[in-house]
Amino acid sequence: MEEKVVEIRGLMKSFGDLDVLKGVDLDLYKGENLVVLGKSGSGKSVLIKIMVGLLKQDSGSMKVLGQEVSTLRTKALNELRLKIGFSFQNSALYDSMTVRENMEFPLVRNVKNLTRGEITRKIEELLDSVGLPQSINQMPSELSGGQKKRIGVARTLILNPEIMLYDEPTAGLDPITCMDINNLIVQVREQYNTSSIVITHDLTCAKATGDRMAVLLDGQFKAIGSFEEVFAHAEDERVKSFYDYNF
Ligand code: ADP
Ligand code: MG
């Protein structure tokens, strides 16, 4: 059987009267890129916040790399988080730091036994693989939106995560830059053997990056499968309209 790196069962989460997740079941298999689609406010970010222990579910189970996240104590949770590279929707680079300083930040905080030379080599390797080898001493203000996104992905990779979570990676980017980031997401999986969840409401991004799609509607996943399986014969009107709206 294929190995599961994330296993979600019957997950529920409400905020006051607002029921956001109403019994979510989902698996992420080792090595796959899984796209989570859903309109704005459907609970996509809440789902990944529960995954990394920033929010707690009301009931149900969220297992990541075999561990029930909600039961972990601080130390174990921090260790788990080091294995997850997550870039949040609005998590930007620090404007007052160079690219190198931005990239060093997670390393210096979490890995104590690297020499200066090892850190530099690691940063150069990652900048190279995101296609920005010359940017190490630049300030974020000297970079385009797409370049900043690339550096953000490189920074996320610096701790060798097993799982990558991309929250709306192409939001606010022009179509060409979107394509660029989509390619990067595919390339990262090949190069670093990560398993990924790509959260988006952009079907072009979904089609380009995902092995499987999962559509979050009204607090549950209504359709899970390949792009064709989910959209070519969509029975749920809302899944269909999602497609029609995008294309
Ligand atoms: P999206 O699918 O756009 O990422 P979110 O997961 O961010 O949506 O949010 C889902 C719903 O939950 C929204 O209505 C949002 O306002 C609400 N929500 C998210 N986080 C909180 C919170 N910490 N407290 C109260 N409501 C929240
Ligand atoms: Mg969101």
Atom 27 of ligand 1: nearest residue by CA position: 15
Rounded distance, CA 21 to CA 141, Å? Answer: 38
Rounded distance, CA 49 to CA 69, Å? Answer: 11
Q: Is the pLDDT of residue 243 over 80?
A: no
Instruction: Find the range with the poorest average confidence among 36-40, 97-101, 109-113, 155-159.
Output: 109-113
**Which band of pLDDT confidence, cut at 50, 70 and 90, is reported for residue 235?**
confident
**Which band of pLDDT confidence, cut at 50, 70 and 90, is reported for residue 60?**
very high
Which secondary-structure segment (H or E) carries 240?
helix 237-246
Which atom, in ligand 1's list, is nearest to the CA of 89? Answer: 4
Q: What is the mean pLDDT of residues 227-232?
A: 88
Q: Tell me, what's the pLDDT at 247?
A: 62
What share of the chain has pLDDT > 70, as a percent?
A: 97
Which atom, in ligand 1's list, is nearest to the CA of 39? Answer: 2
Q: Is the pLDDT of residue 27 over 90?
A: yes
Summarised one tens digit per residue, pLDDT across range 171-208 is 888 889 899 999 999 999 999 999 999 999 888 899 99
Residues with CB under 5 A from ligand 2 (ion): 44-45
Atom 13 of ligand 1: nearest residue by CA position: 41
Residue 21, ligand 1, Cβ within 6 A: no
Residue-wise burial string across 27-50, b where 16 or more C-beta atoms lie within 10 A, e elsewhere: bbbeebbbbbbbeeebbbbbbbbb
8 Å CB contact between 99 and 127: yes
Mean pLDDT of the chain: 91
DSSP letter, residue 200: E
Residue 78's SS3 state is helix
Q: Is the pLDDT of residue 1 over 70?
A: no
Ligand nearest to the CA of residue 38, numbered in listed order? 1
Ligand 1 probe mutation, 18, 20, 37, most atoms within 8 A of CB:
20
Rounded distance, CA 173 to CA 150, Å? Answer: 12
Closest CA to 197 of 3, 51, 68: 51
Residue 201's SS3 state is coil
**Which band of pLDDT confidence, cut at 50, 70 and 90, is reported for residue 143?**
very high
CA of 52 to the centre of ligand 1 (A): 16
* CA distance readout (Å), 92 to 14, 97, 135, 156, 183: 28, 12, 16, 11, 20
CA of 43 to the centre of ligand 1 (A): 6
Q: Tell me, what's the pLDDT at 234?
A: 79
The ipTM of this complex is 0.98
Largest CA-CA distance found in the chain, in angstroms, rounded: 57
Q: Tell me, what's the pLDDT at 91?
A: 61
